[in-house]
Every structure is written in C-alpha cells, then in structure tokens.
A and B are shown apart, each in its own frame.
Chain A
Amino acid sequence: MYAILTVFLKEFRENLRERRTLLSALILGPLLGPVLFAGALSLNIEQGTVKNDRPVSLAVSHAERAPNLLAFLHEYGVTVKPFAVEDAGARSAIREHRETLVLLVTEHFGQQLSSGEPAPLVLYADSSDVSNARDLGRVRILIEQYGSLIARLRITARGIDPTVLSPIVVQNVDVSTPASRSVLLLGTLSYLMLLTMLMGGMYLAIDTTAGERERGSLEPLLTVPVRREQLIYGKILATCAYMTLSLCLTVTAFAIVLQFVGLEQFGMSVNFGPLVALKVVLFVLPLVPLGAALMTIVAAFTRSYREAQTYLGLVLLVPTLPLVFAGMLGLRPTARLMAVPSLSQHFLITSLLRDEPISAAYFALSVLVTLGVGAALILVAGRLYDREALLG
C-alpha cells in the first residue's frame, strides 16, 4: 500500500511539471469544451429569437392592384416595399441577391378576384437559400390565410355556414416538455464531459507506461522490491486523480458558462447550479477507474509514445460510442442499458438535467456495474504488467 502511494505521489507530481499534460488535462479540455459549447449555443439561441421577431421585408410589384391584401400583410408584420419590375426583373433581383422575396401581383388580379375566379399571384424566392426559408414560409401562410378569409366571407354571403369548409379538424396534442425536446443538446453535453474526463488522463496513461519504457526508466523501476502490480496500481491511481481533476474542472466550467446562456429555450429545466454540478460529478466518478485502467492497458502494450497516442485516440471513442448510438436510436433508460458503463452515466446526467426522477435501482446498477468493470480492468492491468513482453 505504501509503495502504491509512493508511485502515485511521484507520478502526480512529475506530471504537474509536464506542460503537455497540464495543458490537455487541466486547461484546454475543461475550459475550451464548455466555452465553445456555450458559444455555439448562444449563437443558436440568438439566431432563433431574432428571426422570429424580425419583420419580413417583401418587395411587391404593382402593389396598387391588391391594396387589401397588402394591408392584411402589413397588419401581420410584413414590411411592404414597392418594387416596380416584371417577371424577368423579379427573377434577376432574386438571383443577384438584391431582394430575398418578390411578390408580383398579376395584371387582372383585382378583376379576377371580384368575379370569383382564382386570382394569380407570383411569389419569387430562392429555396436553396436556407436563411430565407422562414420568411418565405411566413409570407406564404399569410397569403393563404388571406385567401381562406375571403373564401369564408363568400360562403357566408351565400348563406352557408363556413364550417362546411372544414370537414376534418386535427388537434395536435404535444406532450413533450421543454426538456425532452433537447435530447441532442443534452447528449452533446454529457458527451463533452465524458470525453474531457478521459482526455484528462490520457497523457498520464501514456507517460507512465509507454513513456516510461521509452525513457529507459521502466527497467530500473522493475528492480525495486515492489510487486509489479503495485507499481501499475499506483500509476492508474495517478491517472485517476488527473481524470477526476479534469472532470471537476469541466463540470465547474460548464456550470459557470451555462449561467450566461438562456437554456430554458433548449429545455434544460434545471438550473445548473453547484448542487447539480456536484451530482453530475458523483454520477460520472465511477467511470474514472474504468477509463484509467482501459487507457493504461492499451498504452502499456504499444511500442512507443507516438503509437500509444494513436491507439489512445481510438480508445477515447470506445466509451463515447454508446452515447452516439443512444442519440441516434433515441434510447431510453432500461435496466439492461443502465448496465452499460458510460451509457448509464449519460442517462443519469440527462435525467438530472431534465429534472426527471432518477430511480435508485438504476443509479445503484450504474455505479456497481461501472465500478465492477473498472476493478476487473485494473486487475487485468496488474496481471499484464507481470509479463516480460512489457519491456518491449
């Protein structure tokens, strides 16, 4: 036990002096992730809100032919801009991005409307320009509304109940809460947390194994009167410590950064305060030994530092794969899925942030299975360290 502690302290201290480890474990990962996340998020929110409120500007040619329609559009927030062109002019104005939407009122519009014939309007837009899709949709719906308003008036004038125009009524009942609508967002959040946690231990896992061998310090270390598995346990413990630090920093950074982003619109009903942050750390903590042991095992059997980096890059994906599948398939927690490490942590975080009740049995299952797999991997690492192949 004393030897494990000695190895742990040495590895911990030595890596505090390694700029690369510090940068990736304690600065870049924990801070960059949340800041980028929040940046992208607030940009997204801003765009959404701005577009909803922004008045739609519509260039109209021959507005004088349909004064009532234009008054109706104006009433619903469409800014009408006179624009004297014919068909060809409207097309080129759109194509050259001088206008985004052009409405052309045809020559006999008023006449056809009053005689009860279908009155043509031409709406010019570029459907490949995604940023205008919302404006286009709004204008089209308003025009249709105007049309059905006229239809109802005509039916009523002929003494018929306008409800005959609506033989079927569909009622939409949306039971989603604001929270459940943000599966993707929450998935990204827990994905970033798990990834940052693993990255926090990556360089340590390499440095204490492949790095130690490459420097030639492994051989002298194996000549001290300490059992080899104790040496590797100490190293895994140091990796765990860095992962825990990294995890705490990430969650704290998320908690701080998310205070500045209006998350209600994305359906996080929980205020990401200190208590929630603490719970997130507690939920993810059982995954630390598993990740550390996994990375150590892989790094211990690569031939060089560079090779270890390559392989660990792939290993980082392993615990994050279940999250991707869960997102794609829209999985919900079940007893079987709660026995999958990393996926169960994802479910716990998601439930917590959605303010949904967390079953104690599911929580216990997640913790026990994850810790169990972690302990098994640590034992495997200890056994593997006893092999001569380790020396390379």
Chain B
Amino acid sequence: MIEATNLRKHFGAIAAVRDVSLRAPDGRITGLLGPNGAGKSTTLRILYTVLKPDSGDALIDGISVIREPLEVRKRIGVLSHGAGIYPNLTARENILYFGALHGLSRADREARAKELIGLLEMDEFADRIAKGFSQGQRIKAALARAIIHRPRNVLLDEPTNGLDVMAVRTLRRLLVRLRDEGHCLLFSSHVMQEVAALCDEVVVIAHGTVAASGTPEDIRVLTGESTLEDAFVKLIGTGEGLG
C-alpha cells in the first residue's frame, strides 16, 4: 500500500513536483499517467527513497519514506528508468547481487533467482554476460532483480519502453500475477493505451500536480468524454505532446 500526501520537489528554480497526493492499494495495478516532464519520475523517485521531498510525505505500508527510508526499502522493489544492469555480470549474477544486498541467505536467493528466471522465461540468457542483451532481456533481468526479495510493493518507471510485443506480454502477465498475489503495483507511463489495458486505478499527472484519479471508467465519466484518450487529452490540456 502506497500513500503520498502533498509531495513537493524543486530542482533549483524548476518545480518538478508541485503537489502530488495519491493512493495505490494492495492487490491493484495503479498507473501513473502523464506526458513527458509531468513529474512522474520525480514522484516515483521520492516514493522509492532516492530523492527527499521538499515537503509532504509518503507512507509505504504505513512507514514514512522520510523518517525510515531503510525500512521502506525492504518493502519495495524498484525497476528504474532504463533498467541499469551491470554489463559485466550475467543476468543471474545481477539478480543474486541484489538478493545478497537485501540480506537473503545464499540458498534462499539462489532458489528465488531460479524461480524468477523460469517465471520470466529467461533460461536462454540467464547465464550470459549482460553486455549484449536486448532491451527486453535487460528489462527482464532488472525486473527479476527488483523482486528477488518478494517485496509487497513494486514500483516501475516506464517499464515497457523499448520492448517488443512479446516482451510486453510477458511483463503484463507478470504484473497481473503479482497483483493477484496481493501485491501493490505502481507504474508510470506516458502511453495511454498501455495504462488503459492494464490498470485498475489511474492517476493522471500534469504540470507536477494530480489532474484526476480513479478507475479508468471514473475518469471517463468525470471528464464527460467517451474514450480514456479523449479524457486524458482534456485533463492535461491540448498543448502537451503525448510522446
């Protein structure tokens, strides 16, 4: 369960996040939808404790990201923008490294890595050096790495960027599976169709503030538009590109 209240973050004179409050419940997939530069990544970075907000706070399973970031980190799995795996390690070594950093015992992390490699259909490249991986292979390795410690909450920053159709389907299946197991999933995207296809809840962000939130149906009704796409365009203002 992720709850953020009145988050605000400036970088110098630029306000990346002005006022964001959101709620991502357990057992649901929540989509953070907004155009490029709306403040999605900054919001996620505050939630996964890499940035500290100027004001406001966020609770992960009731624990404050400001006061107890270490406790929060035990409860979250993070797929950051662009995956970022180590090119000189194999996929399996990448996964095991994070298992060790999360304090899992050797036997535990090895069993868990094996399980995730099977689940994400990575057997073919699991023991290859990551240097030559395709974007899809990289994302899969990074995702397995992010959830090696069975976190209750999973945060993903633009996870489908650069993925082909097959990889997107594998990813979606995994997210749905995690949801059905009762996890809280929060992911950002600027691709409207993706959010519409996958999310139970949507939070629309524009100009650093929350423009609307609720189920896709709620948002359509709220704006009086017939499709989510039209609703989205209306919410963020017509001047913005959708990327």
Contacts and interface: CB of A to CB of B under 8 A. Distances in A.
A226 B89 contact: no
B52 interface: yes
A220 interface: yes
A225 B101 CA distance: 7
Interface in B99-138: 100-103, 129
Interface string B78-94: 11111111111100000
Most-contacted residue by chain B among A10, A18, A215 (CB, 10 A): A10
B70 interface: yes
B89 A14 contact: yes
Nearest to B76: A223
A227 B103 CA distance: 13
Contact of B74 (A215, A222, A225): A225
Contact of B78 (A7, A216, A218, A223): A223
B88 A217 contact: no
Contact of A223 (B48, B52, B89): B48
A224 interface: yes
A304 to B, nearest CB: 15
Nearest to A3: B101
B80 A220 contact: yes
A143 to B, nearest CB: 71
Main secondary structure of the interface of A (DSSP, over half): helix
Contacts of B76: 223
B204 interface: no
B51 A388 contact: yes
Contacts of A218: 84
A227 B80 contact: no
A355 interface: no
Contacts of A18: 88
Interface residues of B, number: 33
A2 interface: yes
Contacts of A220: 78-80, 84, 98, 142, 145-146
Interface in B142-190: 142, 145-146
B50 interface: yes
Contact of B98 (A13, A215, A224, A391): A224
B80 A226 contact: no
Contacts of B73: 223-225
Contact of B101 (A15, A17, A215, A226): A226
Interface in A211-237: 215-227
Given A221-B101, A225-B101, 10 more contacts: A6-B100, A10-B89, A215-B87, A217-B86, A219-B80, A219-B84, A220-B142, A223-B50, A225-B102, A388-B52
B49 interface: yes
Nearest to B72: A225
22 contacts: A3-B101, A6-B100, A10-B86, A10-B97, A14-B88, A14-B89, A17-B129, A215-B86, A216-B80, A217-B84, A217-B86, A219-B45, A219-B50, A220-B84, A220-B146, A223-B73, A224-B102, A225-B101, A225-B102, A388-B52, A391-B50, A391-B51
Shortest 3 CB-CB distances between A and B: which pairs?
A216-B84, A217-B84, A225-B73
A215 B103 CA distance: 24
A215 B50 contact: no
A227 B73 CA distance: 10
A8 to B, nearest CB: 11
A227 B69 CA distance: 9
A14 B85 CA distance: 12
Contact of B86 (A14, A219, A225, A391): A14
Contacts of A10: 86, 89, 97
A185 B101 CA distance: 48
Nearest to B94: A217
A13 B94 CA distance: 12
A382 to B, nearest CB: 15
A224 B101 contact: yes
A219 B103 CA distance: 19
Given A10-B89, A17-B88, A216 B81 contact: yes
Nearest to B89: A14
A218 B49 CA distance: 13
Nearest to B11: A388
A325 B85 CA distance: 45
A251 to B, nearest CB: 28
Contacts of B103: 2, 225
Nearest to A215: B84
Nearest to B101: A224
